[in-house]
Structure 1
Amino acid sequence: MALSANKQTVIPIALCGAAGRMGREIFRAAAMSPEICIVRAYEAPGHRSLGARVGEVSIEPDDVPTFLDDCRVMVDFSAPLAAVLPHLEKAAARGVAAVVGSTGLEPAQRDRMEKLAGRIPILYAANMSLGVNLLIVLAQRAQELLGKAGFDVDVVETHHRGKKDAPSGTALMIEHHLRLVDPEVDVRHHSLRAGDVVGEHTVQFTGAGERLELTHRAGSREAFARGVMAAVHFLAGKTPGMYDMRKVLGL
């Protein structure tokens, strides 16, 4: 059973993808947030981290019968992506809100997620940092002004060599929001995978004799984890529907 929202001062959350890079960073961020407590942590059955203790919880397989017990919000950064929808189905059945940060979702998966948002509040964002979401607002304004002048638009993103999806979820999110300004905009993507780069995104507008570049560089995943904490605070107690980080940040 999910805990009643009006009886809780601390928000109990479940973390899916607990042993991944973002999972570890979210544990650290939650430990510094007195109003958020990770009470369940999950990984895929057979994962080498099962049984490992992190803080006050042990990592469990995500197929246990007690999945999401005592939780108000599920935070999901699962890999493989095939786990995300089953997690959301279970969250919807239990009335547990969901913050989803896994990238690379297929259109059919996104469509199903939006349908489930008719039953629970779901916040989905490919990038939860304040800086990236502000970058998108600035890029939209640039497109409004420079698109009329025929400027070319390129999105260049660099990530660590272990990142599999390309373009990145953030790059596709940037394109999506530019198309809200101009549905006909031609956005060209360029993806680099090298070293241990956490994440860099540049939106480049190029015209005759001039170029404008808007760049965000993440030095660590701490910025993303802070955004997750803000998303959890925002989503707890919300009515069913789809939400994004721009609503959280008031952008």
Structure 2
Amino acid sequence: MATKTTTPQHQVAVAGATGRMGHMLIEAIRAADDCQLAGALDVPASPAIGNDAAAFLGVASGVPVVADIRTGLARAKVLIDFTRPEGTMAHLAACRELGLHAVIGTTGFSDDQKARIAEIARDIAIVMAPNMSVGVNVTMKLLEMAAKALSTGYDIEVIESHHRHKVDAPSGTALKMGEVIAGALGRDLKECAVYAREGVTGERDPSTIGFATIRGGDIVGDHTVLFAGTGERIEITHRSASRATYAQGSLRAVRFLAGRTSGLYDMFDVLGLR
């Protein structure tokens, strides 16, 4: 009797396929029974163009790394993108044209780019979050609860650390933490955030949310929010030891998008944390 075979439900393309995050995503997709690697994109200058996308694992996936966006997306139903804002915007335009969903982990978007993404989400379904880690998003929920309970008498500081190669600061995750806290306090982060302190700054404004950024070595990603009161401090910390957590969260987002036609979602939607 022949063994029954089934086609994996989710046909997934990966942008930035030869980067550190791209490799984690490809490995996670290949390990998932319900997902199949269907496309691999990278910049034209990448030396891996034309090579098998899973060659780094010592196996053949049958999916070459390509620079042409439409070629890379031709067999996919959803794109996972952890690249740069300019690249992501080009990828999203193609997704809209081809009817693909998207999971976006890219950070550093401008307000205009965010507005454009919201517009594109009228036609396709998008999960966009600055951090796809399940643990980070549970931490966000804890911060929301803490901010409401500690709304007076506590100074709030966000401290984040990342590897030396990260190009934006503060991290998208740190900014999202600030947005969650500000929202819980009924504030606008744009009006209360303090991103730098130097020289004679005067006393701390208790209505502000401060940010501190550390860059060095190969730190995957550490985030701590400090609630400093009189006589006590509360610290809520998340530390990432591996990008594998981002990959697993991304696949949960892929599954969440199945059956949806349009809309802009985040990991709170994916994890049911609303």
TM range, smaller chain: over 0.9
Match of 1:154 among 136, 154, 157: 157
Whichever residue aligns with residue 18 of structure 2, its letter is: A
CA distance in 1, matches of 2:46, 2:31: 27
Q: CA deviation at 1:67?
A: 4.0
How many positions carry a matched residue from both structures? Answer: 242
CA distance in 1, matches of 2:71, 2:18: 19
Native 8 Å contact 2:8 2:36 kept in 1: no
Match of 1:117 among 121, 125, 130: 121
CA distance in 2, matches of 1:166, 1:137: 22
CA distance in 2, matches of 1:60, 1:27: 15
Native 8 Å contact 1:117 1:241 kept in 2: yes
TM-score normalised to the size of structure 2?
Answer: 0.85
Match of 2:216 among 194, 198, 201: 194
Alignment pair present for 1:91 and 2:104: no
Specify the alignment match of 2:48 in structure 1.
49
CA distance in 2, matches of 1:165, 1:66: 30
Specify the alignment match of 1:70 in structure 2.
75
* 1:233 aligned counterpart, secondary structure: helix
Structure 2, unpaired ranges of 5+: 1-5, 55-60, 188-206
Alignment pair present for 1:58 and 2:64: yes
Native 8 Å contact 1:72 1:236 kept in 2: no
Whichever residue aligns with residue 13 of structure 1, its letter is: V
Match of 2:131 among 116, 122, 127: 127
Q: CA deviation at 1:244?
A: 0.7
Match of 1:226 among 248, 263, 271: 248
Native 8 Å contact 1:40 1:59 kept in 2: yes
CA distance in 2, matches of 1:53, 1:9: 20
Whichever residue aligns with residue 92 of structure 1, its letter is: R
The structure with the largest strand share of the pair is 1
Structure 1, unpaired ranges of 5+: 1-6
Native 8 Å contact 2:164 2:218 kept in 1: yes
Q: CA deviation at 1:173?
A: 0.7
Alignment of 1:229-244 (within 5 A): 229-244=251-266
CA distance in 2, matches of 1:132, 1:62: 33
Native 8 Å contact 1:204 1:213 kept in 2: yes
User: Which 4+ residue blocks in structure 1 deviate beyond 4 angstroms?
Assistant: none
CA distance in 1, matches of 2:252, 2:68: 25
Native 8 Å contact 2:103 2:127 kept in 1: yes
- Could you tell which deviates more after superposition, 173-182 or 115-124? 173-182
- Could you tell which deviates more after superposition, 8-17 or 124-133? 8-17
TM-score normalised to the size of structure 1?
Answer: 0.92
* Larger Rg, first or second structure (1 or 2): 2
Q: CA deviation at 1:150?
A: 2.5
* 1:47 aligned counterpart, secondary structure: coil
Q: What are the Cα deviations for residues 221-247 of structure 1, in whole angstroms up to 9, with x where unaligned?
A: 111111011111111221300011111
Match of 1:177 among 177, 180, 189: 180
Q: CA deviation at 1:209?
A: 1.2
Native 8 Å contact 2:158 2:210 kept in 1: yes
CA distance in 1, matches of 2:247, 2:182: 28
* 2:150 aligned counterpart, secondary structure: helix
* 2:46 aligned counterpart, secondary structure: coil
Q: What are the Cα deviations for residues 114-163 of structure 1, in whole angstroms up to 9, with x where unaligned?
A: 1100000010011011111011111111110111x231111000011111
Q: CA deviation at 1:8?
A: 6.4
Native 8 Å contact 2:15 2:80 kept in 1: yes
**Percent identity between the two aligned chains:** 38
CA distance in 2, matches of 1:247, 1:186: 28
Native 8 Å contact 1:73 1:236 kept in 2: no
